[in-house]
Each structure stands twice: as C-alpha cells, then as structure tokens.
Amino acid sequence: MKTIFLLIYLALYPCFGIAATAHASLSNFRFEIISGEGATFVPDSFYSQVISTVHTQSREEVQDKLPAPYIYDISAVTTGGHGQAVTNISYAPGSTPVFSSDATATRGTADSYGQTFFSLNYIANSVIKISADAHVSGTAGEKDIVTTIAAIRGANIGPNGGIANHFEPNIGYASYPYAFDGDWSFSRTLSFTFSYPTDTILYFASKTYASVEINPYIPTQVPEPQSYVMAFLGLMMLAAKNFRALKAR
C-alpha cells in the first residue's frame, strides 16, 4: 500500500505547488500646505514606469507621461509558467493616486515593480506635508524569499544646483530563508514635512515592489498525459499482484 501511495505522489508531485505571495501598495496620498504659498505641480514632469516579470522569461514594461486632462491608468500584467505579476498606478481628478504591486508564484520567481516621478515648483519658506498610506503583506513557505517595499521619496535642488535635502520615508520587508514562514501584513502612514528658505524645485517619487522566489526551484514541467498512463498501469500491476497474493493465502 505504501508503494501505491508513493507512485501516486511521484506522478502528481509536479502539479503540487504552494503559492508564495507578495503585495505592496500606496494609497490615500495627501498634499497639505501648512503655511505659505506651498508648491504647484509641474504636469510635464510626470513620468511612470511599471514592470512585471515571471521566471525572467515573461516580461512586460510600460512607461508613460501623465496625459491631459490628467486621468491616468498604467498597468503591466504578466502571467506565465507558474506565476503572475501585476502592477497598477491610477489617478483621476478628484481622487488620489493608487499604487499597487502584486506577485504570486508556485515555482520559480515573480516580480512586480512600479514607480512614478514628478516635480513641484516650491515657494520659499512654505511648509508643506506629503503623506500616503502604505501596506505590505505576504505569504511565504519554508525557504521562500518574499520581498515587499512601499516608499515615498523626495529631494530638492538647492541654490548651487545640487541636492539640498532628500527624504525617504518607506515601509518594507526583505524576507530571507526561514524569516517569514506563514502570513504577515503591516501598514503605516508615511509622511514628511518640508520647508526651505528659497524657491526651489522639489522632486517626488513613489515606489511599490513585490517579489517572490520559491526555493528550492523545481523546474519539472506538468506531466504529459502518457506519464499518468504509465503511473496508472503501474498501480494496476501492483493491485493485481497484491490481489493474487491475497488469494494464495
């Protein structure tokens, strides 16, 4: 009987797969002028890029600028082998941008990446606050490597043309073997407050990244139909042998 179960397992093993998942998102962006004239958005500076990859073989990349009237939806979806990667960035007047990156795999790897850049014309001595709600979550099995990052970043150009200040509030997990067996999720509000004594250009970026890697990677393909036939014949032969042994008793 043990032999029969072993044959069934070996025949079906390539079909088994426990999915590892990763999710990172940014939502509910808020731009507040605490004091002063604040800053104005520079539409021509808006640039977005999303990339999704599965097993390094299937890949989609989309890059674009924010078109008038500033209704925006950019996404990359890759499905292949035993995984899926999805990245989406959306924005419309009257709402705040939403960023999300998701990756799922039962074998191999899947990666999802999204990033957006834009500029603000900052007025001297204003106090502004930029914030967003970040969330990361994942599911990892033993030895799976799951990475999730959600971040907002910024920098401004000083009087001499160089970077005068930079700020990088972020939330993220980098999972190493045995570090995150099971499920986890974590949320935090990311924010920074900025002020500067002269007019300047303020650069702003948002990023989400989700990556999963199944270990050990088993490249065996789903069995061909003949594999099932051979396994079935083997089971029949074992059953017949056991039946004859029982009758001989």
Q: In the Cβ-directed half-sphere of 59, how many Cα atoms lie within 13 Å?
A: 6
For the stretch 119-138, pLDDT in tens is 889 999 999 998 999 999 99
CA distances from 117 to 42, 80, 202 (A): 11, 29, 11
Rg of the chain (C-alpha set):
26
Report the DSSP pairing between strands 182-195 and 109-122.
Answer: unpaired
User: In percent, how much of the chain has pLDDT > 90?
Assistant: 22
CA 87-89-91 angle, to 5 degrees, is 165
Bridge partners (DSSP) of residue 109 are 213
For the stretch 57-78, pLDDT in tens is 778 887 777 656 566 677 888 8
Of 12 and 205, more confident = 205
Q: Are 138 and 22 in contact (CB under 8 A)?
A: yes
Least confident of 17-21, 33-37, 232-236: 232-236
**What span, in angstroms and rounded, lies between the C-alpha atoms of 48 and 208?**
12
pTM over 0.85: no
Bridge partners (DSSP) of residue 72 are 91
Of 247 and 164, more confident = 164
**What span, in angstroms and rounded, lies between the C-alpha atoms of 151 and 135?**
10
Decide if pLDDT at 6 tops 50.
no
Q: What is the rounded average pLDDT for all residues in the chain?
A: 77
Least confident of 33-37, 51-55, 235-239, 242-246: 242-246
Q: In the Cβ-directed half-sphere of 65, how many Cα atoms lie within 13 Å?
A: 8
Q: What does the pLDDT read at residue 95? A: 65
Decide if pLDDT at 14 tops 50.
no
3-state secondary structure of 85: strand
Q: Is the omega angle on the peptide bond into residue 69 within 30 degrees of 0, that is, cis?
A: yes
